[in-house]
Each structure stands twice: as structure tokens, then as C-alpha cells.
Amino acid sequence: MFPVCVSGTGALTAAVCLLLSRFSSSSPPDPVPLIASYFGTKTRYEEVNPHLLLDPLSVNRSVLKPPDTERCSPVHITAVIRHGSRFPTVKNIRRIQQLSELLREASGGSRGSGGSGDWLQDIKSRWVTWYTEDMDGQLVEKGKEDLRLLARRLSALFPSLLSEENVRKRRISFLSSSKHRCVSSVEAFQEGLQHLGHQEVQYSHQLDDQLMRFFEHCRGYVDGVEKNRTALAEVEKFKHGEEMEGVRKRMAERLGLPHHDLTPAGAPDANAKSCDDDGPDDVIVDLVEAAFFLCSYELSIKSLHSPWCFLFDQRDAQVLEYKSDLKQYWKRSHGHVINGLSSCPLFHHVFRTLDKAGRPRRSSDASPEPASVLIGHAETILPLLSLLGLHKDETPPTAANYQSQHGRSFRTSSIVPYAANVVFVLYDCERGARLQLLINETPVRFPTLPDEDAPLYRDVRAAYRHLLDGCTEHRGCDGRHTEL
């Protein structure tokens, strides 16, 4: 666990934060729950990059991979970043409260036989819910630190681009979703870039939901997926399958609850309700997930190894992660073509920015914009990565093939944890501009150009020509599900 510093407004505060971060890195990290890497979109960034638990400012410069045969220098980055760790939303807070009431009512009954140590007693008698509805998805202090530290690491990786001077002279553009957790994140990122300054932190971001919450403005997506009762059919089937039934049964036994308290009455009628409506069966499933994510929230918010973490073993965690991945796959990723097409506005924005930064210039021309930082959501990043063709397994995940999906590429726990980031690095090289992709600070090759870490930018554009020419905010989003 590293110390959390409040927003720095001067050199002294920044120096203290740096000293504390470095001092804490010499101490062993707090114990991490065995199931910590299975929380899907509620996973800590440190589970993807565990070395950050030892040193939150460590930077591996070898991730930059321009060709050794050319002289290259980075001239621009565009970074699409998810907000940091947050509180549960109101919907999940109410589920946590419902779960707490269920256990309180049962606390006078029999004790679970499957528990070990004091964790079961802690859950049933000593743990008290502290989540209140006014928290509603707001960024927590740890989430602010996620973004400050990410900014520090990226500025160390790209010192000429993410420099404090470039920030103060407003050469870097910052865009954000209007959601408070994203606004707090873009502010924290700017604080991280200005950590050595002697002046007050200056914020210069703009809000753009058309770009960062494009999924709300794409009619083809809203009608075809969001409001479509059958779009998440695989998720509904898995909820009532044998794997989830096993998790419910083991959870009931460990808590000493009657099995029927956590057992759905029967498989639902797929046409009876919208995918986003909660029927009695969904409430049961949601209580199981509420218990599972309590471990996640307490870890990501307070760095605590909560007693709730002992309620699930690795087998349970893998099942619940798969259920979450099914939802994200069919709702935000490769499950439906329109999911990726909905991100066309962001896709075009990224490439227009890269085009402008890589354009040949005369010596008298102004320098290109060194960086563009865009703060959004997991729902912002997943469709974009899908449009780029990333994390697409040969066999789609379904309710029926769980056992064969353990080696799948599409794992949201590793793709979109809190503070997930997709960084497009544009190099000026002898043979021309080159582009490299980093996902969560790790090099990833473009699927259509698998032989190079940093292919020529013109080759990248050629590989995505069909999208650059045909992927518009109207095509697909006007209700016509045209595959490009």
C-alpha cells in the first residue's frame, strides 16, 4: 500500500509525496486477496502491473520499441484513459445494504460450516456497511492517486511531451466525460504533471460527452443492444447455468444460509423484461455479485483484505469474472458489430489528432501538439479496442463454453481495470512517422500488422482504411447495422 497525498499546490507538498511514495516502496506490500485479479472492470490497476505495489513510480523504458535500425524520437502521444478507483454506484450500494440486512436477519441462526478462522464471524457479527448513497460512483482518494501516479510515470516515459512546461503553456489538450469521477480524474492527472511546480495547479480540460460517452448518442447501439431484450441472451443463460448455481450453493453453505435464499426460482423468460430490469432471479444473482465485489471495493478503496474475500475461492472468482466478461463482450465489445462501430467518433478523433501531429512541417511552422489526454470509462475503451480488432478470440465466449475459455484473450480484469489506458505513440523516424500502441503501459501490436511493434504510420492507416473511409458517426449509428 502506498501513501495517498492530497492535491499538491507547491514544491514542498510534491516533494513530501515523492518521498513518501519512495519510502513506501521499500516496504513489503500489504497482503493481496487470492481472488484480486478476477474482478473484471472493478479490478485494481496494480493487479495488472503488480510491480507498482513495490514502487508506484517505476517506469520500464524498454516498452518503447521503435526499430533499432532507425533514429526515432516520440513527437506526440494520444492517451485514452479510464477514470481511477471509485465508490460503488447507488444501484450496487443498495444491493450491499440488502445483503447486509439478509445476513443480519440470519445472524441468530446456524453458523456456516465451510468457513475458517474469524472471517465468518467478522462478516456476520462485526462487519457494518459504511457505504452511503451519496457516494454514488464518485472517485475515491485512491482513484485520484491512480491518475496522479499514471501521469508521473507517463511523463517520465515521455519527458519532452508531457513536460510541466507544456502543461502550463497549454500545449497539451485534455478532454473528459462529464461524469464527476472522470472530471476528478482529469484534474488529478493534471496535478500529477504539475507536481514540481511552485504555482497553483492550473486546470485546462474540456468536457465532451459526444466523444467520451459516444455510446449514449449512437441510435443503432441504443436500439440494437442497450434496449434489445435478446442482446445479452448469453449472459442470461449463464446466470442460470450450473457454474453460477455452484457458486450460489457454496456461498450459502459458507454463510450458513438456507440454499433457497440464494437460489433463483427458475430460468426467466427471455422476452419477459429488458436486460437492464431486475426481476427476482436477478436480485439473487446480484446479491452474490454484491458479496464478491465487496472484496473488490474494500481492496481498491481502502487497500484492505476484507473478510468478504474469504467467502470465494479461485474457482468461484473465475466463474464470476466470466459472467462479467460475457456481459462486457456482448454489450460493449465483439459480441455485436454495432458495439465497435459506436466508437467511430472517438476512432476518427484519435486519427485526426495523429494526422495533424505527424504532418510534415517547414522549419518555420509551429511545433505539433505534444499530447492529447482523454478521460472516459471502461465503456469508452472497450468499443474502441474492439474496432481496432484487439482481444478478439477465435471462439466467442458463450454460456455453453465456459470450460474452454480459460485461456481467452478477452479478460476485462486485465484490459480495463481502474485507470486503464490506451496510448498511441507517434514517432518521427528516418523512414517516416511510426506508431506504437501501449495498453496499460505494455506494448501491444496492431492485429493487422503483427510483425512490428512500431509500424510505419502510413501502414497503420492503410490497415484501417476501411474504417477511416467508412466508419462515420452516421453509418451504423443511424440504425443500419452495416459491417465494415
Residue type, 278: D
Residues 234, 398: contact at Cβ < 8 Å? yes
- pTM here? 0.88
352 Cβ contact list (under 8 Å, min separation 6): none
Q: Which three cell numbers stand for residue 355?
A: 494526422
Q: Which cell goes with 84?
A: 481511477
Three-class secondary structure assignment of 343-389 = CHHHHHHHHHHHHHHHCCCCCCCCCCCCEEEEEECHHHHHHHHHHCC
| Predicted pLDDT at 273 | 41
What is the Cα–Cα distance from 346 to 297, expressed in whole angstroms?
30
Q: Is 379 exposed, middle or buried (0-12, 13-18, 19+ CB in 10 A)?
A: buried
Which pLDDT does position 328 carry in this prediction? 98
pLDDT at 260: 72
* Pairing, β 442-444 against β 371-376: unpaired
Identify the helix (H) or strand (E) that includes residue 422: strand 421-429
Helices and strands (DSSP H and E) totals, the chain: 19, 7
Are 327 and 232 a contacting pair, CB within 8 Å? yes
| Alpha helices by DSSP H, 107-215 | 119-121, 141-157, 164-168, 180-193, 209-212
Q: What pLDDT score does 475 carry?
A: 64
For the annotated catalytic residues, the residue numbers are 83
Q: Which residues pair with 421 in a beta bridge?
A: 81
- 420/160 Cα distance (integer angstroms): 23
Q: List the chain pLDDT tens, one digit each, 484 residues.
A: 334 343 344 444 444 444 444 444 445 556 899 999 999 999 999 999 999 999 999 999 999 999 999 999 999 999 999 999 999 999 999 999 988 888 888 765 444 444 455 888 888 878 889 999 999 999 999 999 999 999 999 999 999 999 988 998 999 999 999 999 999 999 999 999 987 555 678 888 999 999 999 999 999 999 999 999 899 999 999 999 999 999 999 999 998 887 777 765 544 444 444 444 444 455 556 889 999 999 999 999 999 999 999 999 999 999 999 999 999 999 999 999 999 999 999 999 999 999 999 886 555 466 789 999 999 999 999 999 999 999 999 999 999 999 999 999 999 999 999 999 999 999 999 999 999 999 999 999 999 999 999 999 999 999 999 999 988 655 668 755 544 4
Residue 206: all three cell numbers together: 474540456
- Given the DSSP bridges, would you call strands 432-439 and 442-444 parallel, antiparallel or unpaired? antiparallel
- Over the stretch 176-223, which tens digit does the pLDDT of each residue have? 999 999 999 999 999 999 875 556 788 889 999 999 999 999 999 999
Which residues, including other chains, have CB under 8 Å from residue 209's CB and lie 6 or more apart? 177, 178, 216, 217
Beta bridge partners of 73: 428
Burial class (CB in 10 A: 0-12, 13-18, 19+), 70: middle
**pLDDT score recorded for residue 4:** 38
Grid cell, residue 129, equals 456497511
